[in-house]
Structure formats: structure tokens, C-alpha cells
Amino acid sequence: MAQRIDIFDSTLRDGAQAEGISFSVEDKLKIVKALDTLGIAYIEAGNPGSNPKDIEFFEKVEAVKLKTAKLTAFGSTRRRDSSVDEDKNIRLLLSANTPAIAIFGKSWDFHVAEILKTTLEENLKMITDTVAYFKEKGKEVIYDAEHFFDGYKSNHAYAMRTLQAAAQGGADCLVLCDTNGGTFPFDIFKVVQEVKKNFGIKIGIHTHNDCGMAAANAIMAVEAGAGQVQGTYTGFGERCGNANLSTIIPNLQIKQHYICIPENQLVNLTKTARKISEIANVTLNERDPYVGNCAFAHKGGMHIDGVCKASSSFEHINPERVGNKRRFLMSEVSGRKTILDKIQEINPSVTKDSQETEAIIQKLKDLEHQGYQFEGAESTFELLIRKQLGKYKPFFELEKFKLMTEQPIKAEHSASALIKVKVGDQSEITAAEGDGPVHALDRALRKALEVFYPELAHVHLTDFKVRVIDSQSATAAKVRVLIESTDHESVWTTVGVSTDIIEASWIALVDSIEYKLLKELEKKEKVYT
């Protein structure tokens, strides 16, 4: 039988310490539900002693019925030279009313002396007293040995004594933390192996990515005997981030045959990563293994040909297994067959010798000469094919728009847009504000069209890239605009080219909206003609 590895998600605590991330109480509740649905074993939901927001969260989360996850409150050992009963933070931890509590304590003698300003013996008592207190209260206690690997290098004997102090208090799991993220995988393996040999309780691992090795370190720890892996679901966290659980889970479960989450939930790995990123207002790294938009994207003609003949030739797993999808990027190196395959997705009767094929290839060449690039804008390319095949009809007509910007910027929004669109015989006029003219135009366009197409309410722009593609032409230089959009379930990219950045943006925006509406129509009618 496959060994189970407990996944301990710290997105709401360690992830919230990342630069640019601030979760509301509602954000945290949504993430808890998403992680629980995925089958995560533990959700570290925050420190009730750190801020009023976390106190409010713990009050509200009690109403959430979790199916698989154990909610976990996080806090430190008691303060030096005080009793557990007198410690305010300890009382707040208890008031969170979670079945499990994660307690962190110092393992590095340097930290004990210079940060805590206490003795080595007092630190050991702080650990034992705190763990024992929560065990007496009926809590599952996970002890996080902060800076363990640095402490192990500095004073091996003392670092091990801190673990013994936690074990003496009754800790259910000893978590070895690479808090500074500076340890290499072979050292992780060696140390975890030694700790596992000396303690008869579950060992966990908590790694940071400061050397780019957090995922590798976590996996090596499991190979050495660790039974719990801590991290954040999309890898964000303080400094360079935490171990990325959306990478670690499939690596352990698919590659190494451990059980991390229910097998039927693997298909939701990508969806969950995108959902959490959206809630956090962070763009998911498109090159993240397994769940990134580029994880199964192929550009080279030889690669694409190989995948078409046998997917395993250039893919280490089937992308559908983790809820992702294969993408063939359109470019000058992708090959005629790749273009034909895209055409045949829309009209299977078209062959390589058909006039339609030649016309589309010629149109592709003409547009690339103008500055278009389709390798990262397959949605625009699909619309191009449909237009050439006569399988396209516009969903709306622009009557006019007007943009206004504010300088100097004093208000929250720096631009506003007024837009009038027509759908059938009906016109709609509306206005919206945004952080810049393109954002304002995007919001105004969707606001106007939501009257006719309510499904657009879930769509928003997630990335906006501009590149000057003819710098020799001075003021007449062309710009290429790439827009990435999402509806919380899928991500698509469109492109526009013009000498005017607003016009280029408009072209890409229209394609983005029409692509979404096209896919919604396909769901309803199966075939779009």
C-alpha cells in the first residue's frame, strides 16, 4: 500500500507574508474551501495573536464544514521567563478553537542568545511547556523547529535537544524548518534521516526557496522519511517564496507514488492554482510545472510532430491528469502540420492541399510581417482561422469610445472610458474608471456587454504586455500588445498590432471578449457555424 504524506498548506499564513499580498477575511474563507475540496490534510490559517483580521477569521471559519482538512492555528512558544497561563498569545491560540496547533520555537543557539535574549535552557523549557499545555487541552500539536538546519550546522547537539524538548512535551509531529532557504538537498536528506532514526514520531519538512531548491528539498526530505510536507499552494511567501505545493503534490503522487490528496482530485490541481492566484490577486507563473499555462506548450515543429505521434515523446505526463491542457504555439518554426491541425479542429474536411490552408498560411505570414506574433496568442489565431473559413460572426459592434486620463494622478483611478456598443438592433452606452486607459477601456467594454452577455461578469484582464516592434520608425513605430484574460477557470491570450497603442490594445481586447463568448456558445451549441 502506498504511503500517505500529509500536506500542510501555509498559504494563509506564510503565503500572506509575501510582498504585495493581503488577504481579506472573505479571501481566506474562499481559499480554505478550495484547499479542503482539493483534499489538503492541514490548513494553517494564521496567527490569532498577530492581528484583529485573523481573530475575525477564526470566528467566522467555525461555520465552515470542512470535509478533509484540519484547520490549524499558528503561534510561538510562551515568552521567556513567564508561565504559559499568563501568555496572551497562548490564550489567543487556544481561543481559535482549531483541532490542531502549530507551535514554532528556536533551534539555532544564535537565535536563542541574540534574538530571544534568553538562555539555552530556558528556551528548552519554553518549548516543552508550550507543547505540553496544548496537549493537555486535547490539541494535536505540530512543532515547527525554526531555523533547524542552520541550528544543526551551528550546534548539532543543541538543535537535537530542542526536538527532544518538543517530543517530551508530547508533540505529534516534529517539523524541520529551512527558514532561511539556504540548505542543499543532500544535506536535507542526511539530516532528516538522522532525525527520523532518533525520534519515533512523525517528521515534517518546511522549506523556503531562497536557493531555488524548496521543492527538491521537500521531496528529498520525504525520501529520507518525512511524513508531512509544508508549503504554500502556488509557492508564494516571504522573500523568494515557500515550497510550491502545486509542484510537490504531483511530483510525490504521480512520480513517486505517495498519496498526498485523493487520486480523483489530481485533475483539479491546475484549477485550484488559478483560483488561489486570482483570490490573492497574483498572476500565476505561466512556467510553473504542471499547472502553468506554458507547462505543456510546444513551439518547435519537431517537438509538435513528436507529440502528435506519441505524446510521451515530449511530455512527461498527460496534461489532463493535472487539469491542464496541451498547447501548440503558432510561429514561423511551428511547421505546416501544426497549422493544419488547428484548422482541422474547426473544419476537419480541410486538407493540406486545400485553398483554405494556403490562404490561412499566407494570412499568417502577412500578419507576422506586420508585427503579429501568435506563439503566445493562440486565441487570436483561432479567431483568424474562423474568419478565413467563414465560421465567424461578430458578437458586437463598436459605435464609439472616448478615453480621458487624469494628470497628475490624484484619485484612485487615473483614467476613465466612455463606450457605446451595439448588439443586434440594441445599443448600450456606459462608462468605467481604471488604472490607466486600457484598464478603463476593458472595464467599460465588459460593463456594456454584460447587459447582453452576463457570463462576461467573471472575466477580467490579468496581464498586459507592450512591445515596440519597429523602433527605427520613431513616432511611427508599431507596438504589439498581448493581453491575458481569465474567467477563473481558464486563461487565454490575444494580440493586437498598430502604430497606436490604444488601437492595438482595443484589437486585443475585442479578440479576448469574442473568444470567451465563442467558447460559451460552443458549450451551448456544440458547433459554432
Output the DSSP codes for 322-382. Answer: GT---EE--STTS-HHHHHHHHHHH-TT--TTSHHHHHHHHHHHHHHHHT---TT-HHHHH
Residue 472 grid cell = 527605427
Instruction: With a cut of 60, say whether residue 288 has pLDDT above it.
Output: yes
Q: Average of pLDDT values for 464-476?
A: 65
pTM of the model: 0.76
Indicate the pLDDT class of residue 470, thresholds 50, 70 and 90.
Answer: low
φ and ψ at residue 170, rounded to 5 degrees: 105, 20
Query: 487: helix, coil or strand?
Result: coil
How far is the C-alpha of 106 from the C-alpha of 126, rounded, in Å? 10
pLDDT at 332: 52
Report residue 490's pLDDT band, with 50, 70 and 90 as the boundaries. Answer: confident
Q: Cell match 487565454: residue?
A: 492
Class of the CATH domain delimited by 397-525:
alpha beta
Query: CA-to-CA distance for 462 and 275, rounded, in angstroms?
Result: 13
Closest by CA to 6, choosing from 100, 87, 76, is 100
E strand or H helix that includes residue 9: strand 6-9
Which range is most confident: 142-146, 432-436, 462-466?
142-146
Give yes or no for residue 63 having a pLDDT over 80: yes
Choosing among 3.30.300.20, 3.90.25.10, 3.20.20.70, 3.20.20.150, the CATH entry for 46-229+246-258 is: 3.20.20.70
pLDDT of 353: 83
Q: Which residue has the higher pLDDT, 468 or 485?
A: 485
Asked if 120 contacts 109 with a C-beta cutoff of 8 angstroms, the reply is yes
Report residue 238 CA to chain centroid gap: 15
**pLDDT score of 528:** 46
**The pLDDT of residue 409:** 61
Mean per-residue pLDDT, 353-361? 86
Tell me what the pLDDT averaged over the chain comes to. 90
Measured CA to CA, the distance from residue 110 to residue 151 in angstroms comes to 8
Q: Tell me the percentage of the chain whose pLDDT exceeds 70.
A: 95
Q: What is the pLDDT of residue 475?
A: 46
Q: What is the DSSP letter of 81?
A: T
- Domains of the chain, by residue range, sit at 46-229+246-258, 297-389, 397-525
CA pair distance 388, 373, nearest whole angstrom: 18
pLDDT band at 333 (very low <50, low <70, confident <90, very high): low
Whether the per-residue pLDDT at 46 is higher than 90: the answer is no
